[in-house]
Amino acid sequence: MAKTALITGITGQDGAYLAQFLLEKGYRVWGAFRRSSTVNLERLEYLGIRDKVELVPLDLLDLGNIIRVLEKVQPDEVYNLAAQSFVAVSFEQPVVTGEITGLGAARMLEAVRIVNPQIKFYQASSSEMFGKVQAVPQNENTPFYPRSPYAAAKLYAHWMTVNYREAYGIFACSGILFNHESPLRGLEFVTRKITYTVAQIKHGLARELRLGNLEARRDWGYAPEYVEAMWLMLQQDEPDDYVIATGETHSVKEFAQEAFACVGLDWRDYVVEDPAFYRPADVELLVGDATKAQQKLGWRPRTTFKELVRLMVEADLKRVGDRCGR
C-alpha cells in the first residue's frame, strides 16, 4: 500500500518541492497550512501539483488541533517544515518565533507520541543554529552557538527531537540543512531578492539593489536536492541527525556578482550596501560538512553554485517579463 505523508509548511519552498518529490514516489500527500483569510498556494500551482495534494488546516499553537489532524490523516511520515523562518523578522518577533518555530515542533512531537509513536518524524533544523561558528566546516558534532531568536528556537526544536527519540523511541530525525535556494524562494530572502531585482533592472523596472552585509558567507545549495535528503533520512534503519550542505561557501557579494553577470551587467553599477539591512547580530560564515549524509544516505549535491544562480535568474527574468507583458 502507498505510504501517507503529512507535510507542515506545505505552502513554503521546501514543502512544495517535498510534496512533488513524494508524489513522484507514489505517496498520498497531505499538506498542513496555517488557516488565514487567504492561503497562498502559488508554489504548488507553479509545480503543477495543487490538485494532487490534500490540504488540511493546522495550528502549531494548538496541541489539540494537531492531535485531531494526525488522527484524521493517519500518516506514516510527518515532515515538520513549518516555522517563522525569516531570521530578520525573528529579532522583531522573538516570542512568536519561539512559539511557532520552537514550541510548535514540541507540540508536533507530543502529538505523534500520543496518537501513534510509530509515525516517523522529520524536523527541519537549520545551519543558523551554528551561528557564531566554533569550527569550520560544521558537522553533526560541531557545538551550536545561535545568534538570532530564530536560531535559538530551531535549536530548542532540534534538541526536543533528540529527546523524543531517546526518551520515547520515536523514529525522529533532524536535518541540519544549510542554505538551499530555488525559484520558489521567498522574496524576503537575500538570494531571491537579488535575482528578482536583477530581473527588474534588466527589464528597466528598477535602478538599484540595496543589500546588507555583502561579506556574509553561506553554503548555498539547490532546494529540490535537499528535500530528497529529508526523505532519505526517514528510510534508514535507525533515526539520526544529518548535516546537508555543499561544502562550498560564497559571499552575498559573489551571489550578486554572478546574478548580474547572467544578464551581462556589472553588479558594482547597481548594488548599494545599506546598514538598514544589517542584523543586530550577524552570522559571518557557514559552510557544512555533509560527509555523514554522503556515507550513510548516499546523498550528494548535484547543482553547482553558478548553475543555481543562473536558474534562479532565468526564472525571475521570465516572471518579470510575463508580468510586464514582455
Residues with catalytic roles = 126, 128, 150
Q: Compute the C-alpha angle 34/40/46, nearest 5°.
A: 135
**Measuring CA to CA, how many Å separate 83 from each of 55, 80, 131, 152?**
17, 9, 18, 13
Q: List Cβ<8 Å contacts ≥24 apart for 206-211.
A: 207/270, 208/270, 208/271, 208/272, 209/256, 209/270, 209/271, 209/272, 210/271, 210/272, 210/273, 210/274, 210/276, 210/277, 211/252, 211/256, 211/271, 211/272, 211/273, 211/274, 211/277
| Among the listed residues 225, 244, 232, 190, the one whose alpha carbon sits nearest the alpha carbon of residue 307 | 225
Q: Residues 189, 225, 17, CA angle at the centre, nearest 5°?
A: 65
